[in-house]
Structure 1
Amino acid sequence: MKNEKAMVRYDYSDRVVIVTGGGSGIGLGICQAFAESNATVICVDIDQPDSTELPDQVVFYHCDVSDQEQCSSTVRKVIDRFGRIDALINNAGIQPADSYHPIDELPENVFDRMVGINFRGYHLMARNVIPQMKQQQRGVICNIASGQAHRTARHVGVYGPIKAANIMQAKQWAVEYARMGIRVVSVSPGAIDTPMVRASLEAQGGGEALANRHPVGRIGRVDEVANAVMWLCSDSASFVTGADLEVDGGLGAFGAFADPYEGKT
């Protein structure tokens, strides 16, 4: 079977979707997928994306998701302009090169920044969209977690625990708001071909070995994650809440990212 992009078509006409970290990587792919399915898409990021990559119906709002006032202001703008919020994709996240340390060697400012964006950012955006979803009695929140939430490797002692917390956030919110028409789910991608993963692989000395550890023999594509998100946010998944979907080419079944001491002393 050829490794070709295959986008499943949904009809999200009259739906308003917010995607954080939508300017690149998985977030950009999710923005494109929703736009191709006729949604009104709000791309939230700290960096202005390349306009040539965003379809016309994607609206960009600058926002640092670790800042409460910026999150609140962004959500208010969306509601004032479009009148509703049907889905929030919590995707904004960082895994900088200087985060690859045991916790006793990790710079404190790196820890604070990762918690602020990767954890607090999910909390703040959800906190601000939920009142509108409660009023509508309808909405979906999808947290983009990671395979590192389920299994880990050496020197990633902050990213993995935060991503595990993203899954638990989704489960907690799912329980809290299920009777109000709000579904909350999470997706745990394996290694996906994005700028962040490419930078990570360069920091660790290349990606061939990691690709081969996926039972399918390759890392994933952005559209493969986007397809999963599109289904989970659709009415086809109306009985799915509190669940985490691993989109990882079988890596979870295999059970490990890497031999923890491979190539190290």
Structure 2
Amino acid sequence: MARLKDKIALVTGSAAGIGLATIERLAAEGAHVYVTDVDGAGAEKAAAALVAKGLHATAMTVDVSRGQDVTALVRAIEQQHGRLDVVVNNAGINVRTDFRNMSDADWVRLREVNLDGMVRIARDTFPLMKASGKASLINLASIMGHRGMRTLAAYGATKGAMSALTRGLAVEYAPFGIRVNALAPGFIETALTERVLRIEAFSKALLEQTPLRRFGSGEDVANAVLFFASDESAYITGAELAIDGGMQAAL
């Protein structure tokens, strides 16, 4: 199927992990994807791999915490296509630390990437999404925005704010034909989670809390992104879908 034929899609943080799986899925469905990441070389490699398969991709080095990077990205897309049909706010970082010992620098960095970056992308791409007439904005939140876990309080706060902003933007952007939804992944096997998931006792405890008894994959999340990006979800906005193997349901 080509559910996104001729669509223009932007995915932040898409050189690896969930972002990489997402651009591969969207491009395979016919979209021209903008592969953006602070790792410019990684973004170029990912885009080149798609082009080699006969798919459409453009790579750009973008740090979402830097306003000038986002401005340059928006200008480039405006000049080349004049619209955005799909925007996926995926770029994010994590700083695992006891909250009582967290430095100001760590908190600022978390906020700048996870929250300020999402705000900047959602705001600055608005004219391009409006030009689409029926765009879809998809924010990658987290189940950590809804549950507590040691060393993840600050990370969870940024993701909880992302969930709240999703609901607000769904109402604010609806008159312009823009749908806004969020995904809340649980523990997905990526480079971001590798360090903790390889701790046997920790992994075992998490799996015991997960009814499906496995961790998620980037493809699991990418499939949900595709649903929200496509017309199959045309009457859904302001929603958040947990991709967590049932972890939240089991609480």
Q: Classify the TM-score, shorter chain.
A: over 0.9
Residue aligning to 1:81: 80
CA distance in 2 between partners of 1:205 and 1:197 (Å): 15
CA distance in 2 between partners of 1:246 and 1:26 (Å): 15
Residue aligning to 2:35: 43
Residue aligning to 2:238: 242
CA contact (8 A) 2:82 2:128 kept: no
Residue aligning to 2:108: 112
TM-score, reference length from structure 2? 0.92
CA distance in 2 between partners of 1:171 and 1:42 (Å): 25
Q: Does 1:55 align with 2:50?
A: yes
4+ residue runs over 4 A deviation: 202-206
CA distance in 2 between partners of 1:204 and 1:141 (Å): 37
**Contiguous gaps of at least 5 residues in structure 2:** none
Report the secondary structure of 1:55's partner residue.
Answer: helix
What are the Cα deviations for residues 61-115 of structure 1, in whole angstroms up to 9, with x where unaligned? 001101112101111101211222101100000013xx3212x210111111110
Residue aligning to 1:144: 140
CA distance in 2 between partners of 1:40 and 1:142 (Å): 17
CA contact (8 A) 2:19 2:90 kept: yes
CA distance in 2 between partners of 1:93 and 1:115 (Å): 10
Residue aligning to 1:70: 69
CA distance in 2 between partners of 1:241 and 1:52 (Å): 30
CA distance in 1 between partners of 2:71 and 2:46 (Å): 28
1:203, distance to aligned residue in structure 2 (A): 7.3
Q: Does 1:160 align with 2:159?
A: no
1:233, distance to aligned residue in structure 2 (A): 1.2
Residue aligning to 1:176: 172
Q: Matched residue pairs, number? A: 244
Counterpart among 199, 213, 217 of residue 217 in structure 1:
213
1:187, distance to aligned residue in structure 2 (A): 0.1
CA distance in 2 between partners of 1:18 and 1:246 (Å): 22
Residue aligning to 2:127: 131
Change (3 A) 1:124 1:249: same
* Matching residue's letter, 1:64: D
CA distance in 1 between partners of 2:220 and 2:71 (Å): 31
1:206, distance to aligned residue in structure 2 (A): 4.5
1:58, distance to aligned residue in structure 2 (A): 2.1
CA contact (8 A) 1:185 1:242 kept: yes
**Contiguous gaps of at least 5 residues in structure 1:** 1-8, 256-265
* Matching residue's letter, 1:247: I
Counterpart among 2, 7, 13 of residue 5 in structure 2:
13
CA contact (8 A) 1:10 1:230 kept: no
CA distance in 2 between partners of 1:13 and 1:74 (Å): 22
TM-score, reference length from structure 1? 0.87
Name the structure where helix makes up a greater proportion of residues: 2
CA contact (8 A) 2:64 2:117 kept: yes
* Matching residue's letter, 2:168: Q
CA distance in 2 between partners of 1:52 and 1:120 (Å): 25
Report the secondary structure of 1:66's partner residue.
Answer: coil
Percentage of pairs with the same residue: 32
1:209, distance to aligned residue in structure 2 (A): 2.3
Farther-moved stretch of structure 1 (141-150 vs 204-213)? 204-213
